Amino acid sequence: MASQGHPSAHVEGAAEPPGKRRLLSPADNPVVRAVGRVPAGVHTKLLVAFVGTALLVVAVAMLGLRLLGQSNERMATLGQFEERASAYGKLRSDALHVRLLLQENVNDDFYKVLTEGRLPNPGSGARRVDLAIVNAVAEIPPSTRPDILSFAPPPEDERYLREIRAKGAELSKVMKEIITVAPERVPRSLRIRAERMAVALNQLATELENRTSARTNSVIAQNASAYTGSRNLFIGAATGAMVLALLLGFVLSWSLIGPIQQIDARLAAIASGNFSGHVDVTNRDELGALAVNVNRMNDELRRVYKELETTSEHKSEFLASMSHELRTPLNAIIGFSQVLRERISGDINAKQEEYLDDILSSSNHLLALINEVLDLAKVEAGQVELHVAPFSLQDALERGISTVREQATSGGVQLTLHANGGPTIVTGDERRIRQVIFNLLANAVKFTPSGGRVDVTATHADGEARISVADTGGGIAADDLERIFEEFQQTELGARLHEGTGLGLALSKRFVEMHGGRIWCDSVVGTGSTFVFTLPLGEVDR
């Protein structure tokens, strides 16, 4: 049973009931079976699964680091734009300040209003304003240089900065012309020209600031969008890695668990005596080899079991045949010995009478052993039929006690039947139940020393009759409690006494179980033993 040059196993019997197996069940999944057929050991497959899971974790970590780096880069870029916007905003504020000082309504009336109550004369006020404008304009060109801005402007901003420097220098020149002339003599056209330059300067600074602010807002929006995309990408990648890891674990685990479950189920079936099926494992690893060995063991056990069944049948047939053949001459020996013992054919002396008693005793003992062997052979061959009918359990117990009473009296054993309100009528094969009772009573009397006692009790509970035979003998060792119910097994005391063949308890167990009951023994060495058996109560009133 090999598949593609490597051990595998195939179903030939009813390993599973029809309909129980599903095509998409974990064990029968095509992917799982494909992984199982990979020509690699279990250790290698587990190592591959571990390495694959580790690589997935590393990949997710690397992706997270990359996304974090990109986020840091975007934040750095955003910081640069915010720095530019701040510097350009200050530049625009300075340009606006100059424009406000040179707006069109700056005239003599303005100076009068501006200086009224504070300056000694209008001329002195106008001069102060012009000087303030000169000072303000003088600060604009230097503030566009990189060393003052604290950053290197990009080429697209440098064009605006050059124009601002040029306008600022030109306005500064005009303002210097203005302050060289007395305020009341400054041509109005020159002031208008300065004011227009201030407007142009303010427009350039405002445009530069607005352009930078727009780019900053754009970067902020892009950063937010990129963050959302990065977050979704990371979550998606992590989820995908988890799904792949779970899928890898699922496939690999079931490529191992499935065969183990099938092998376990087959071994359980073998343990219960079912050798009709084979385990189906296509793995090309240790589990596949194990499955092949399990199937080989199954086939070998099936062969051995059939041989044992055949041998057991032959043994039972032999025992039944020999028992029958032995009983015929033995009955003749017993019969003729009884004729001689009764002096029907003539007188005998005392010695001959003693010999005849020994012959009759040994013959009856041998006949009892033969009958036990014959009964056991019939039970094993399934030839025993129970004649079930209602009968009096009380009468069966009393007859059993009567049968062994003489033996108990001669041995100095007190024999007592306790009436505890037990069932009076039970349903079963009376002859077989009486045989069980006799076997238990005979053993109890035989192994109870003089001065001891044997108590017989019958009760009922949970729908069954319970009969117990308790003695005060030497007891049975714990190691012997199970095997005493097996064929040809005796305790050490029984073996020393050389009495019986060890079949009485085995037959009793078989007869009780045929009735659907149970039998067991509770014993303490040095105290005594209690044999108990149960019988299901039938429809007849107890």
- 11 DSSP 8-state letter: -
Pairing relation of β-strands 519-524 and 528-536? antiparallel
Same fold, 304-379 and 386-536: no
Residue type, 493: L
Bridge partners (DSSP) of residue 95 are none
Alpha carbons 91 and 96: distance in angstroms, whole number: 9
Contact 454, 405 (CB under 8 A): no
Please, what CATH class does the domain formed by 304-379 belong to? mainly alpha
Residue type, 107: N
Please identify which residue in the block is written with the tokens 């005239």: 107
Residue type, 326: L
Please identify which residue in the block is written with the tokens 């599973």: 16
Per-residue model confidence as pLDDT tens for the chain (542 residues): 333 334 344 444 334 444 444 444 565 667 666 666 667 677 677 777 778 788 888 888 888 888 788 778 878 888 888 888 888 888 888 888 888 877 643 544 444 444 443 434 445 567 777 788 888 888 888 888 888 888 888 888 888 888 888 888 888 888 888 888 777 777 888 888 888 888 888 888 888 888 888 888 888 887 778 778 777 877 888 888 888 777 777 777 777 777 788 888 888 888 888 888 887 777 777 777 888 888 888 888 888 888 887 887 777 777 667 766 777 888 888 888 888 878 787 788 888 888 888 888 788 777 777 777 777 777 766 667 788 899 888 889 999 898 889 889 988 999 999 876 666 788 899 989 998 999 899 989 988 999 999 999 998 887 888 999 999 988 888 878 878 888 765 665 554 444 555 678 888 898 999 989 999 999 888 889 999 999 987 643 33
List the chain domain ranges: 89-227, 304-379, 386-536
Cα–Cα distances in angstroms (integers) from residue 246 to residues 35, 37, 317, in the given order: 15, 20, 62
Residue 131 has what pLDDT? 82
Considering the domain delimited by 386-536, tell me its CATH architecture: 2-Layer Sandwich (3.30)
Alpha carbons 444 and 439: distance in angstroms, whole number: 9
